[in-house]
Structure 1
Amino acid sequence: MAFDGIVTMAAVCEMRPKLIMGKIDKIYQPESEELVFHIHTKQGNLKLYASVNPGAARIHFIRSQLQNPPAPLPFCMLLRKHIQGARITDITQTGSERIIEISLETLNELGFTVSKKLIFEIMGKHSNIILLDIASGKIIDSIKHVSIDVNRVRQLLPGIIYQYPPKQDKIPFKELLGDISAEQNYISANGLSPDASVIQKTIGGISPSFAEEMALSNNSVEFLKNTCKKIYLSEASPVVYTDDKGIPREFHVTTLSEYEDVCTAIPFDSLSECMEYYYNNKQSTNRIKQKSSDLLRTVSAQLDKLRLKEQRLKEDLLKAENSENLRLYGELLTANIHKIKPGAKSATVTNYYDGTAIDIPLNPTVSPAKNAQQYFKKYGKAKTAVKEKQLQLSANDNDINYLESVISYLENARDISEIDALRRELEETGYIRKRKIPGGFKEKKIKSDPYKYSIGDAFEILVGKNNKENDFLTFKTASSRDIWFHTKDIPGSHVILRASQNSGTNTLPPFEELPDEVIYAAASIAAYHSKGRKSENVPVDYVPVKYVKKPAGAKPGMVIFTNNRTVWVNPKLP
């Protein structure tokens, strides 16, 4: 990963002029490993984001709005107590390390000014955020507690004197910028352009990609100096490299030759924009993927159980349907009861339907008449079982269809709020346990906010993001003359085609008079927002909303409809 000492230095150079003397207005903790600071500065309000996620540790400005939990987490509450309203007096990098220190001045309970420090350690799985009391040098608290059981060399716990991470046996890259003797010693030992592996073993604070770039230059130290000079002068050119699928592979504050020919370079004006794009689009660190993974596992496990139940129900149903021989045994025993001796283990009788001989197993402990009654009783139970198993199988199929639709929404989710809405839907339907919110806080109500698309100026398309929103869209938002779309026998969103608000009319033309291109465009959107997104020639049903009904007791999003037509389209957005 590219977040090395060079990028850390660039981050400090970007943040320092903007945040010095800024006031921390609000502090949020969207996830257990993330913090967002709303800072009021002379240049306006800024949002500083920090994460200690092992695979995506970083600190930078963001523009997007993150979803916050209903109740603030403990570390967030502690930061609000100690540094909300504090002034930022300085921002520095610790040597050449991936450590950023933000010095703060705030008032204590008695109204006296006290100095505190936020330390951001961006070091992979060892990343942490520590709040420090400068006067005593003691840790007030940290976002991750590191006890002696985890690390015998360095603990991070409240009340302990803070110690910096142990130094590596390398030359910090900043020493090569101004210390001539250090530069000469390095060149005499390694030459002007040593191998990348030698550079990385010798110089501290640089990533493998940057070491490779230094090795390709004519003078590795001069290249390092020029890069750092550009950073200090705000002339650096942050760039993200993406593969042919658009997934980011690497980023840095300078061009990287090893990616130039095999990847697409996307330049950015600022390092924060560069990092926000990189981490938001990188699949392995995508917050939506991480957030939905737990739900996907839970729903998939439920789905596996339902499919196993379906298999067993079908086996039981098959046995129950093949029960005519029980009735036949009862009839033949009754007809030949005078020929059967009490205590016999079986009886051979003639089947008067086809004249063949049949051996009927008997229970020797009861009379022949009782054996006949038992066979009739088993036959009656089997017939009842057929009806019951069919009802259970139908209910089980409904559950399977519902959970498959939930998985489809989870896989296609674009925003954290969609994941939260799906979680709440699963809690309300009883598939997962409802989360307890500490402190008496209540979850915010989620408003319906469907996807919206336009087809020209005359038509508007609304798409549900989950099953509950599908119901609201179809039965509350849409009018009876609007057109309803849904993929045929494939889990997907309800799609409503209606007249655009800018068209001057609130109603669509008659169903039969709609242009074919509008029907196909709406159907393509319905196919895109379904499990068949990556398929071709997907069947889509469409029908006026007045023919769509919801059966009593049906699960969210489950409907029945009549008078529909079907088109086959390729999934795509307008």
Structure 2
Amino acid sequence: MEATFFRFLAAELGPLLNSRRIEKIYGPAPEVWTFKLQSTGEQLNLLFRPAKSAGHLFTSPLKPANPQQAPAKVMWFRKRLQGRRLLEHHVDWPTLRIAWELTPSRNEGHGNILLFDVRNGLQLLDELPSGFGAAPEWPALEDIRDNDEIWREYPHVSPPLRKYLKGLPEAEAHAAYFKVVCGESNQFHCSRDEQKHPPLAWPRANDDLAFTSALEAASHYGAQTLFPLLEMEDTKETTSRIKSERKRLHRNLARLDQEETRLRKFIANKQLAEALQAELYRLKGLEGAESVEVIHPTEGPVTVALNPFLTVTENMERYFKLAHKGTRGLEHVKRRRLELNRELGKLENGSVPEKQAAAPQSAPVPVLPKRFKGLAVSVFVSSDGFTMVRGKNKKANHDIISKTASTFDYWLHVSDGPSSHVILRRDHPNQEIPESTLREAAMLCALKSYRKDDARADVMYALVKDVRKVKGFAHGQVVIKDTLGTIRVELDPALEKKLAK
């Protein structure tokens, strides 16, 4: 995160969070933190991921999915922070640090200061570090434009700031630098390109997205980058097993190719044995010869290498044994190759053993996070490449909402009657869903509902965060806080087979 942008972000974030109570702390991935904070309206979560260059610190109404068991480090912070309030905040923006004083704890040693260090992580301290919040010194603009290493002495003069100032005409550079020094900015920018650069307080390109709030820019960047990163982290173990299993199968198939080549050479000895057998009457008295010229009944003249220490008959029997060994071995190779190809086929179709998975090269099978393991669900891939998960029974309908779906995924259900629950997965909260994918998800929902035999059906859809389970309700029964809309679809029973994985 760039220092000047962090300066503006901290100026907005500090007052927003002052006096709020920490209700719960989560750890969706190693060194990624979610703080659920007191809020009278929409849910307020503070998401924090420290990193040397592209750290995250932003607010979101959505909470990333979390492991079923919180890591020890998360439990340590929960014990010391849960229920305490954030009081006055302090900022040391050149070093990307913001801290809040905490309400006193009943237990000693639970710390008085909660420090968010974007470069180094989360810390609980008794007091602020020495020099925290001191005003930085600013070098002359000429020194910034001429010295590539100036950030070493002035860390708040970041390489992106130097590049920005160096690219402006001198008069404009002086005016822009003056605004940076004074902490003035009314626009903040996020890149549109696929690299997803961290937000800045100045434009990186002409087509950058512009925001009037640093917090809005940070939240947009976080939604576009952190949520997909967490999904990747959730599937990392499965993806690693996929790679390992596919590599093992292809390695074994390659070894079978080598073994088949060797065995076919053995089988070729049958021709030599048959040639010796055809003229054995002529060769019975032959001794000590290293080779002999014979005529095969169908192949014609053949030169047969002999072991001079064996009789011709013994040489013939030896060749027959090698050929027989090759034939028997080749049957085993064929059977083993069939087994390995069957395993590959299962992997490519998404039906895998407990610790195996695979993604085919042509039509990738979606890798679901491990939290989907053991659920009775059907998995589909839309024509646009989006993963759709449909519950097979009431318990699965309940579990895919409560245990697996991300808060920003889409939930679909047929209007005014019983149906399966369908989760349309998204990589991040701002991801757009093509209408074709939405219609396919709605159709899959309707095909497992009371409207399955009708020509068309109305299907409603909402964000998962707005779908609530109520204590005492039967499995699958929910209350919808808000819907995104209703879509009418024509039912096509062939769609299930077409999109199934």
Q: Is the 8 A contact 1:25 1:84 kept in 2?
A: yes
Q: Would you say the 8 A contact 2:359–2:365 is kept in 1?
A: no
Quote the residue 2:196 is aligned against: 248
Alpha-carbon distance between aligned partners in 1 of 2:493 and 2:41, rounded to the nearest angstrom = 54
Q: How many residues align?
A: 403
The answer for the alignment partner of 2:180 in structure 1 is: 224
Equivalence map 1:244-323=2 (5 Å): 246-252=194-200, 254-256=201-203, 258-260=204-206, 264-268=207-211, 270-282=213-225, 286-289=229-232, 296=239, 299-321=242-264
Distance 1:400 1:217 in 2: 61
Per-residue CA deviation, residues 477-497 of structure 1 (Å, 9 max, x unaligned), is: xxxxxxxxxxxxxxxxxx997
The 3 A distance-change label for structure 1 pair 63 and 454 is farther
Cα deviation per residue 1:401-442 (whole Å; 9 max; x = unaligned)? 55566335999799xx824368x6xxxxxxxxxxxxxxxxxx
- Is the CA contact (8 Å cut-off) linking 2:23 and 2:83 kept in structure 1? yes
Aligned position for 2:25: 27
Q: Report the more deviating stretch, 82-91 or 54-63.
A: 54-63
TM-fit CA distance, 1:41: 3.5
For residue 67 of structure 1, what is the amino acid of its counterpart?
A
RCO comparison, higher one (Cα < 8 Å, 6+) = 2
2:359 maps to which residue? 407
| Distance change (3 Å), C-alpha of 1:121 and 1:294 | same
Which structure 1 segments of 5+ residues have no match? Answer: 138-161, 177-185, 231-235, 425-444, 456-460, 474-494, 510-541, 549-555, 558-574
**Contact 1:346–1:359, Cα closer than 8 Å, also in 2:** no
Shift of 1:498: 5.6
Distance 1:411 1:86 in 2: 50
Q: CA deviation at 1:93?
A: 0.3
Q: CA deviation at 1:101?
A: 0.7
1:247 and 1:283 in contact (8 A); partners too: no
Contact 2:278 2:296 (8 Å CA) reproduced: no
- CA positional deviation for 1:8: 2.3
> Relative to structure 1, is the Cα distance of residues 268 and 503 closer, same or farther in structure 2, using a 3 angstrom cutoff?
farther
The answer to whether the 8 Å contact 2:447/2:493 transfers is: no
| Counterparts of residues 19-98 of structure 1 (less than 5 Å) | 19-42=17-40, 45-94=43-92, 96-98=94-96
Aligned-residue Cα RMSD (Å) equals 4.8
Paired amino acid for 1:251: P
Find the residue that maps to 1:14 and give its secondary structure: helix
Q: Supply the distance in 1 between the matched residues of 2:376 and 2:126 (Cα, whole angstroms).
A: 43
Counterpart for residue 9 of structure 1:
7
Residues 320 and 283 of structure 1: CA distance in aligned 2, closer, same or farther (over 3 Å): farther
Structure 1 position 503, deviation (Å):
10
Q: Indicate the residue corresponding to 2:116 in structure 1.
A: 120
Match of 1:207 among 158, 167, 170: 158
Residues 499/117 of structure 1: CA separation in 2 closer, same or farther (3 Å cut):
closer
- Inter-partner Cα distance in structure 2 for 1:547 and 1:5: 52
Deviation, 1:281, is 3.4
C-alpha spacing 1:547/1:278, structure 2 compared with 1 (3 Å): closer
Give the letter aligned to residue 209 of structure 1: P
SS in structure 1 at match of 2:95: coil
After superposition, what is the alpha-carbon deviation per residue over 1:333-360, rounded to whole angstroms, capped at 9, x for unaligned? 3444442347535452532514844332
Gaps of 5+ in 2: 350-357, 398-439, 456-491
1:317 CA drift (Å): 2.5
Native 8 Å contact 2:4 2:93 kept in 1: no
Calculate percent identity across the aligned residue pairs: 14
Report the counterpart of residue 393 of structure 1 in structure 2: 337
**TM-score under structure 1 length normalisation:** 0.57
**Residue aligning to 2:404:** none
Rounded to whole Å, the distance in 2 between the matches of 1:251 and 1:411 is: 35
